Structure 1
């Protein structure tokens, strides 16, 4: 197979980086050439409660964890092509059930252990036994049968069935390599901190307070997409948890921090006016939306699912809550994902339709406007975590929209560290959900019966068969068609109710430069540098 995705190439125009590669906050200013040294302070809104890249899925934690691990491959944000990193080359057998990687020699983990075939095997052998926090890497290794180490620099990864998406999976933080000693630890031990081979080393991690990284001395095995060889420029990077949006914004304006995440629409004008750059990039993958637990009575009620979808005014939510670059969701995949297929015709705002289908299903308006049937109120508990600052205001607006058609949406906020276990337990009715990945297989990973399947999608359905088939289809055109059909069924049956595409917008101060987005719209700090006062 060629060294590229076995799927549609990402559209360069859609994925072009906004302000990436330029100087943060320095538009029109000549900061000179990049220079080594300096500390970067990056304020984020939340913490996943874990310092292991294979066990985190929220952007605020991925930002720091991505920096401590290298991956076998990297993905070009502009083209979607897979590029060398720890692996210099790779190939698959004709059925994509075996993938062979040639590793670059000389790379080491920060504990001195070599990054060799045994280390790759130790990581991949451990992933299937990860608990609830490890759903992403387990999905990328679906059907994993083992890794054969042919030599220190050659490994073959075997699967029980064709696994086309695995190559892109090797470029993600979720399959970033840990030292064998870290990989062998228990899940909870790993969450206290792990050892990687990346351009930064984890110095300290204090839950809900800060993650501190320091530059890895002697680092010479960076991704082929990095703009300079050798060690990172920065001496130190601190990711400080600052939940309050106003405090993050004020800290950036005052120079107390160099960059911030989770920009709200109210922050755009004052930050721009203060000379702050606002680089943004749309996240590929599953957009923010509501997904029902299909094992629950409300999840099995097709009329309720349809009414929820029809009652949501997506444009109003996006305009009121998110930054100006954000778009309403138009499918079960974000529009920047390979093989995205527009389903906007199925996602119109139609409260009359919502009322009609609920009336027909026997849900009758009560005195307070909330519907009932057989004595039960139409109350929909919705699980969510404060992974970004926009979640609560977005859901409060959706709550008002659903109440207008007689649905009582009850918001159930839970800590980020608890949501994975709650979803695994099945003790929830519906969840506000998104996940970023630049490959359409994220649909199978989340909604296929053989994937993580926390939403209890039944096996043997047509959509389940399509999601399974696309993961093993070698013909890109055929895979595109299968993925399109799967999106149509997921949206048309309201199994997934997409609302807003996540667009990552950062605030970057005038001294921070080249804070780059990767293909999944997370940041890469190897080439980031700071100018003098």
Structure 2
């Protein structure tokens, strides 16, 4: 394949792209001047300023401005196009990927983005290992990177890697300079990296703000960007503001120009203030509950299957959320390539849930909580904060729904900075989570031994299907394996989908040109302030 044509391993469901303007409905009269500072209120401290190690959505949004990728995923068409690479070829076995690089791109320290830099980055990601949470799964089966000539590089795998080309568009595989690769991983997180992106780090004050400044001479944005040169803004300031209402207050008062994570409780407030509200559904894993099958209360699957039927997703959306959100109909959200509609398995049916528990020997106890062999059916659910309070509010309603069938739920909030480690530790019966990604291989990242393995399965049909789709070069056959994985996750109660993730952003009417990328995160090279 040449010139950005993409080998799709599953059929594409094209997502809608939004160019957010100040009035939300097109170009403003005249062209706003370049320069100035844009202040963005985000929900959490990024913790790590290295995109290759970043885990949270806020961290990825912040670090995306530092780095470019080999390819760019156009959220409007669902196709890949060139970025640091102008074209590429993929062998029929999906084991060899040859990239032809543009010759003018440089890192902000002046060193070239050449074939050797690509090789050093991919080799370095392998050395990072588990620290590169996402990238380590993207590079499954990595053999080596060969420098063919100064601007041609070939990436080889020991087995088919169907999702690697898509992965080259992600921030996790964004390229950093040799000066950053030489630094210890912890220093890269704390002090930031040197990338080839339109902004460079100016200052990072933990739990307060990240300040970035425009990079002079930048001239290689993706083709879908209106601005192919240096960013219009002089500075970007990301303020860390965990409280959703406080973020909106900053927007109302003019102390912030944009806010991420506008909660359903604040959407009307934003509209009444004459501010711009824009949303985009996120591809990837929906928000939901995952069952740790290594724990005795959920090990035989009867309890997770009962919970699957007991949760009233429509009630959660209508009570806790807003019209921007939709009840989940699979473990993958509907904009994700390879998504299949499993809504028939996800309708609320308390009678069916009760029957499952009774058949498994769980009988009502004196306080209404079911018991079996003298053990109460009380489950610990871990969830991370903050996320506009949606996780806590949703789980409190689900807690009430499950109590009606005799299941006691104990909610344990976890700081978002500890979310990945909590998944790895496995100290939970159930855990709340989601992950944005534009390829269904995110399922493998979450549910296999090679990834987070949040449900603690080591073998079986689910693992087989997820590994099979990762090495399947035929689009139709890969789609079948992705569909089978979703079906197993839902029918067996490994994953309990609740609602589709949605990015909701509030903007000042003076802000023009903010763009969503394919994973519904923001890019700022086109932004001007009027």
> Scaled by the length of structure 1, what TM-score is found?
0.95
Change (3 A) 1:25 1:391: farther
1:476 aligned partner? 475
Q: Within 5 Å, which residues of 2 pair with 1:134-283? A: 134-192=132-190, 193-283=192-282
CA distance in 2 between counterparts of 1:303 and 1:512 reads 51
CA distance in 1 between counterparts of 2:185 and 2:112 reads 23
2:462 aligned partner? 463
- Note the residue ranges of structure 1 that are not aligned, 5 or more in a row: none
After superposition, give the CA deviation of every residue in 1:53-108 in whole Å (9 maximum; x if it has no partner): 12223222222111111000000101110010000111112211111111111211
Change (3 A) 1:265 1:190: same
2:90 aligned partner? 92
1:506 aligned partner? 505
1:401 aligned partner? 401
1:489 aligned partner? 488
> 2:143, 2:158 within 8 Å by CA — same for their partners in 1?
yes
Shift of residue 234, structure 1, vs aligned partner = 0.8
Moved more, 280-289 or 399-408: 399-408
Moved more, 420-429 or 107-116: 420-429
**How many pairs were matched up?**
526
Shift of residue 526, structure 1, vs aligned partner = 0.8
Moved more, 170-179 or 463-472: 463-472
SS of structure 1 residue aligned to 2:94:
coil
Q: Within 5 Å, which residues of 2 pair with 1:74-113? A: 74-113=72-111
CA distance in 1 between counterparts of 2:338 and 2:25 reads 35
Shift of residue 177, structure 1, vs aligned partner = 0.9
> 1:45, 1:243 within 8 Å by CA — same for their partners in 2?
yes
RMSD: 1.7
CA distance in 1 between counterparts of 2:357 and 2:182 reads 52
Q: Which segments of structure 1 move beyond 3 Å, counting only runs of 4 or more?
A: 7-12, 25-31, 449-452
CA distance in 1 between counterparts of 2:410 and 2:50 reads 32
CA distance in 1 between counterparts of 2:32 and 2:73 reads 24
SS of structure 1 residue aligned to 2:134:
helix
2:55 aligned partner? 57
Shift of residue 516, structure 1, vs aligned partner = 0.6
Moved more, 404-413 or 505-514: 404-413
1:320 aligned partner? 319
SS of structure 2 residue aligned to 1:451:
coil
> 1:286, 1:436 within 8 Å by CA — same for their partners in 2?
yes
**Is 1:116 matched up with 2:118?**
no
Change (3 A) 1:359 1:96: same
Q: Within 5 Å, which residues of 2 pair with 1:328-343? A: 328-343=327-342
> 1:4, 1:80 within 8 Å by CA — same for their partners in 2?
no
Change (3 A) 1:128 1:398: farther
- Note the residue ranges of structure 2 that are not aligned, 5 or more in a row: none
Moved more, 51-60 or 194-203: 51-60
2:432 aligned partner? 432
CA distance in 1 between counterparts of 2:395 and 2:196 reads 39
CA distance in 2 between counterparts of 1:148 and 1:225 reads 30
SS of structure 2 residue aligned to 1:54:
coil
Shift of residue 133, structure 1, vs aligned partner = 4.5
1:371 aligned partner? 370
Change (3 A) 1:94 1:46: same
After superposition, give the CA deviation of every residue in 1:399-434 in whole Å (9 maximum; x if it has no partner): 221222222211222222222123223333321111
> 1:9, 1:80 within 8 Å by CA — same for their partners in 2?
no
CA distance in 2 between counterparts of 1:111 and 1:28 reads 37
> Scaled by the length of structure 2, what TM-score is found?
0.95
> 1:258, 1:508 within 8 Å by CA — same for their partners in 2?
yes
> 1:132, 1:421 within 8 Å by CA — same for their partners in 2?
no
CA distance in 2 between counterparts of 1:383 and 1:195 reads 36
After superposition, give the CA deviation of every residue in 1:356-405 in whole Å (9 maximum; x if it has no partner): 11122122222222222222221211122114112221122112212222
CA distance in 2 between counterparts of 1:371 and 1:184 reads 56
Change (3 A) 1:26 1:466: closer
SS of structure 2 residue aligned to 1:53:
coil
1:445 aligned partner? 445
Q: Within 5 Å, which residues of 2 pair with 1:278-293? A: 278-293=277-292
SS of structure 2 residue aligned to 1:55:
coil
Moved more, 56-65 or 86-95: 56-65
After superposition, give the CA deviation of every residue in 1:209-229 in whole Å (9 maximum; x if it has no partner): 111111111101222221121
CA distance in 2 between counterparts of 1:258 and 1:234 reads 13
